[in-house]
A and B are shown apart, each in its own frame.
Chain A
């Protein structure tokens, strides 16, 4: 029985579509058109074909920012995954009060990324920051100004990664914990009786079980890390000397500071295309085999 006719489907979808059309689809179409023009500050338009795209991919374009984004994704998501996995194994334990501990661990989960950025900016300040003070006290640093987290080109991107890791490792942990709930405990018991060690249990039984959840969590996180704006903006605004500038930041700066709408649009179109492509490929490979399993 067909519960929803095509007409009803369209009718129900329409009100939402009006909103999304106006503020999601229309902007994208505008940008695709703008990306082929050179647009002056006064709004004068001149058609220049694919020049904006060529500019983006040549030296001085957004290749550095692309690299930064990739580094950011790799470091932040990599650490989050490993840490999330380890944490999940600890937090999986059941004991009196385990739920409360788990709740507290997840409490920062919903804090605004902007607040997370501000928090770490405060803590990583070179003179009165508590991070360097602690590092000095335990002997890792010789003086509190040993690492200029936010002012040193070598460290600025990593500093942003640390804030990201703090904010979202609980998310990874949560996803993995949810995946572990699907674990058949009799399998673990059998393995234990057969003499499987702790590591063997983790790698041969737990990891395969959580693989689908882990992959979904990874894809969500990779996209979110690629889009990160608030954290980096709060901490460094992309500086010093563009060392922590990611694609989100350069697009925003090109739009609002340099008023180069055409060029920014070209970068944004490439960025969105890559993210959408990634999502589609990922979902295809992840979901199809599972659907057939059922």
Chain B
């Protein structure tokens, strides 16, 4: 009797979780559906969920309205380059902080944490002025270095919790064998930390890829990223929602696929530090 009752609860739970998932994916599926509708159907009253006529008009419009491929390439190259820089420098710094027992390292940890909390929206203008003074406005280099800087505290924070899980005896053994600190880091610690690096990599990549505000301020034509182009549909082409949906779909589909494929790392990244403490 008891078991039976438990099973009813269980199937109820399973049913509910399936329904919830479908509901939760609804907005996204709706966007996908809209991007395959012809332009007039997107703003038809009353709206329909599935496209009545299947068409790629929105995608063609998107390509016509903005240099979508160029913006996508900008987004991709900028986020990749900035992620690699942030990862290299961030993991190195975090290693030193984690392994050094000096009082200074505690201060640095707190500093990194505080820097991680800074809202980008409030520091963008000094950044903008700095970039203009350096003559880097509307270049991809500007975006690369700014993203690298802003995401570095995040990389450090993630890597700190990964290093914590690696016994210091490994470092000691390397030290006894005569390895320098840099050698220990690159030859012993980093290879073990590959899952941690993968986690930090994916997260930082998405942070840069998804960013809107910095690219909005620092670019105009050459280095414009896809998010800024997409937001252009908000004001300029107010009723052109078809291409906007197509763009949103194009832009976030790879993200969805990667997050499904690399879910293990994403879960690790989100819970790093929280579960281990």
Contacts and interface: CB of A to CB of B under 8 A. Distances in A.
A17 B34 contact: no
B34 to A, nearest CB: 7
A223 B116 CA distance: 10
B124 A23 contact: no
Interface residues of A, number: 102
B105 interface: yes
Nearest to A1: B172
Contact of B149 (A24, A171, A181, A212): A24
B256 interface: yes
A28 interface: yes
A264 interface: yes
Contacts of B258: 110
Contact of B14 (A2, A25, A93, A109): A93
B166 to A, nearest CB: 12
B130 A27 contact: yes
Interface string A269-294: 00110011001100100010011000
A54 interface: no
A227 B93 contact: no
A108 interface: yes
Contact of A8 (B43, B181, B275): B181
B45 A128 contact: yes
Contact of A174 (B10, B121, B231, B270): B270
B266 interface: yes
A3 B166 CA distance: 14
Give the residue among B93, B209, B227 with the most A Cβ atoms within 10 A.
Answer: B93
Contacts of B45: 127-128, 144
A108 B249 CA distance: 12
B145 A23 contact: yes
Contacts of B233: 118
A139 interface: no
B130 A22 contact: yes
Interface in A100-133: 101, 103-115, 118-123, 127-130, 133
Given A109-B266, A255-B124, A12 B95 contact: yes
B25 to A, nearest CB: 6
Contacts of A170: 24
Interface in B15-50: 16-18, 20-21, 24-25, 27-28, 30-31, 34, 42-47, 49
Interface residues of B, number: 102
Give the residue among B10, B18, B119 with the most A Cβ atoms within 10 A.
Answer: B119
Nearest to A213: B274
B44 A31 contact: no
Given A178-B271, A280-B110, A114 B230 contact: yes
A261 interface: yes
Given A9-B96, A28-B118, A127-B45, 12 more contacts: A3-B181, A3-B184, A6-B104, A12-B95, A12-B96, A22-B149, A118-B234, A119-B31, A123-B30, A217-B274, A252-B122, A255-B125
12 contacts: A9-B100, A13-B108, A19-B148, A27-B126, A93-B10, A93-B17, A112-B252, A129-B47, A133-B46, A179-B274, A251-B121, A264-B125
Interface of A: 1-6, 8-13, 15-17, 19-20, 22-28, 30-31, 87, 89-91, 93, 95, 98, 101, 103-115, 118-123, 127-130, 133, 144, 166, 169-171, 174-175, 178-179, 181-182, 198, 212-213, 216-217, 220, 223, 226-227, 229-230, 233-234, 248-249, 251-252, 255-256, 261, 264, 267-268, 271-272, 275-276, 279-280, 283, 287, 290-291
Interface of B: 9-10, 13-14, 16-18, 20-21, 24-25, 27-28, 30-31, 34, 42-47, 49, 85, 89-90, 92-93, 95-97, 99-102, 104-105, 108, 110, 113-115, 117-127, 129-130, 145-146, 148-150, 152-153, 156, 168, 171-172, 175, 181-182, 184-185, 206, 209-210, 212-213, 217, 227, 230-231, 233-234, 241, 244-245, 248, 251-252, 255-256, 258-260, 263, 266-267, 270-271, 273-275, 277
